[in-house]
A and B are shown apart, each in its own frame.
Chain A
Amino acid sequence: MKSGRFWAWVVFALGAAYFFIPLIATVEFSMRMRRGVYSFDAYEVVLGDPRFQATFGYSVLAAIFTIILGVLIVVPTAYWIRLRLPQLRPVVEFITLLPLVIPAIVIVFGYIRMYGSNSPLPFLASDTGTNALLVIGYATLALPYMYRAVDTGLRTIDVRTLTEAAQILGAGWCTIIARVILPNVLIAVLSGAFLTFAIVLGEFTMASLLNRPAFGPYLQNIGANRAYEPAALAIIAFAITWACMSLIQILSRFAPRSANRPN
């Protein structure tokens, strides 16, 4: 067992080196902007860039709309599948996994051809329509993660009893979903939401092909034209991803471990 532990340390150390060297190198590189000394100039330049603020704001907004759309689609569906149509579960699960099978570039290619300005549904004819299409596209990308998270959350509550109790008290379907089910799976929804946020924020393919002024295309543009700013941006992006994942971890501590009663 002693040699086993030795090899475990070796593997861990090699892994840690592979994962930390790029991070250290990026931090170091991002601070080399001023000749001869380490400084935070690159960060100042990046954060002061109006295009950074505009594109970042745009992507945050897109992410928020994506999360709202995702919740509106996923929560009622997952709830209804658990309550009334369990026989549809395999079909719905299969559909929610499709975005992992069909690459994002193919999905957006389909949008561009199908919803062009001459089509019956001309999403791409106006700016608002294109923004909506981007949010829709992001919602499909987030579908696998959102559905997984919500379904896991629903597993920990007794959907049937809660529904019947609410019905006895005279609640309609919208009230049940918004005021009984959603608060009970809020932690699951939030962890899905943060994951969605992390995925959407720096997304490049869809935003670029739909010509949206989003953060991903901005990053790419900076990468092609500047030396030190990209490294600073990489560190910022890593910090945001880290923050989202930490929030999910913290939230999961508050989540109920299992159902009080089986469904």
Chain B
Amino acid sequence: MTDLSLSDHAIAGKTAPPSEARAFRLPTQWLGVAPFFIFAIMFLVLPTLYLVLGAFQNAAGTFTFDNIVGIFDPPNLSNYIQCQYDSWISWVDGNCRLPTILAAYWISIKISLASSLIGAFAGLAIAIAIVRGGLPNWIRSATLTFSGVASNFAGVPLAFAFLATLGRLGLATVILNTVFGLNIYAHGFNILSFWGLTLTYVYFQIPLMVVIITPAIDGLKKEWGEAAATLGATTAQYWRMVVIPVIWPSFLGTVILLFANAFGAIATAYALTGSSLNIIPIVLYAQIRGDVLHNPHLGYAIAFGMIVITGLANVFYIWFRTRSERWLK
């Protein structure tokens, strides 16, 4: 409890980690983290690896790319490209159909992208409003608390809430119809559609953005604004040349995190649309339950494709994160 012991440890901790100093004790050192690694390998790494390997094997267990090729469904894909080309040169909408699995990936990517971009911009606007907007202090803390709750309010109950709001008998639908005379269902809106699902996902995407980006906006130092003002910068210049470049990496990083967040989600979509909207997690869900594709290894390939997409997203996330940490210490 003296200053002496403190500095000793501080120095010891920084210059030479104990394990390096006493390398011969390594086995007992590792025993302490063994349960964690055994758990992680057994229940996280191996099951995933099993699927990844399965994606590159056929029923007999030999190595093959057939499952990966199967996702792209080459005959139907070439039909689709032909159809697109024909309708393009003849100016007639040919109503082309992507192969089922590709279409499911594509709609998943579209919904995840749309909900993460809308969530990110709206969340950023709210975060800026509560940090920089000169609103009363209680609004900031209330918003942050509510965001903590709403970002965890996903899954099946969220679907129920949106059905009660924008379903055919939902409150918002009814009020828009009776008070404003606007029948949104007659105008093509449907809660069981791309925009319906996107609007629902935004309910947890915005709060997540607020929770993650608020510290970054707090990290914008007042001195930078003052320095910019001293050098004669206008507000617009300050935003364009200081704020946006500093916020940019953490903004993009969070967009990617939101994307991955939406891409793997299934419960909300399943409760909302049943299987009427074929997003890729729902296709995989049906495949696991009943082998609807009549090829177990095609299921592995779909899972592998999902890991590739969320994995790529997270590689970018980590890359942006390290860039943003340079400024926002």
- Which residues of chain A from 1 to 40 have a CB within 8 Å of any chain B CB? 1, 4-5, 7-9, 11-12, 15, 18-19, 21-26, 28-30
B169 to chain A, nearest CB (A): 8
Q: B271 and A219: CB pair below 8 A? A: yes
Q: Does B215 contact A (CB under 8 A)?
A: no
- Cβ of B133: which chain A residues have Cβ within 8 Å of it? 4-5, 7-9, 11-12
Q: How many residues of A contact B (CB 8 A)?
A: 89
- Which residues of chain A from 145 to 183 have a CB within 8 Å of any chain B CB? 160-161, 173
In the assembly, what is the distance between CA of A28 and CA of B206, in Å?
Answer: 24
Q: B160 and A209: CB pair below 8 A? A: no
Please judge, given known A-B contacts A15-B206, A105-B264, A107-B48, whether A234 and B164 are in contact too, CB under 8 Å.
yes
Residues 225-238 of chain A, each 1 if its beta carbon lies under 8 Å from chain B, else 0: 00000110110011
Q: Does B75 contact A (CB under 8 A)?
A: no
Q: Which of A24, A113, A220, A242 contacts B47 (CB 8 A)?
A: A113
Q: A85 and B19: CB pair below 8 A? A: yes
- Cβ of B70: which chain A residues have Cβ within 8 Å of it? none
Residues 146-190 of chain B, each 1 if its beta carbon lies under 8 Å from chain A, else 0: 101110110111111111110001111000000000000000000
Q: Which of B6, B152, B158 contacts A195 (CB 8 A)?
A: B152
Q: Does A106 contact B (CB under 8 A)?
A: yes
The residue of chain B having its C-beta at the shortest distance from the C-beta of A231 within the complex is B164
User: Could you list 7 examples of A-B contacts with CB < 8 Å?
Assistant: A8-B129, A8-B130, A29-B170, A84-B32, A106-B264, A161-B5, A224-B274
Which B residues are within 8 Å of any A CB, using their own CB?
A: 1, 5-6, 9-10, 13, 17-19, 29-30, 32-33, 35-36, 39-40, 43-48, 50-51, 54, 122, 125-126, 128-130, 132-135, 139, 143, 145-146, 148-150, 152-153, 155-165, 169-172, 202-203, 206-207, 257, 260-261, 263-267, 270-271, 274, 281, 284-285, 288-289, 299, 303, 306-307, 310-311, 314
Which A residues are within 8 Å of any B CB, using their own CB?
A: 1, 4-5, 7-9, 11-12, 15, 18-19, 21-26, 28-30, 72-74, 76-77, 80-81, 84-88, 92, 95, 97-114, 136-137, 139-140, 143, 160-161, 173, 195, 198-199, 202-205, 209, 216, 219-220, 223-224, 230-231, 233-234, 237-238, 241-242, 244-246, 248-249, 261-263
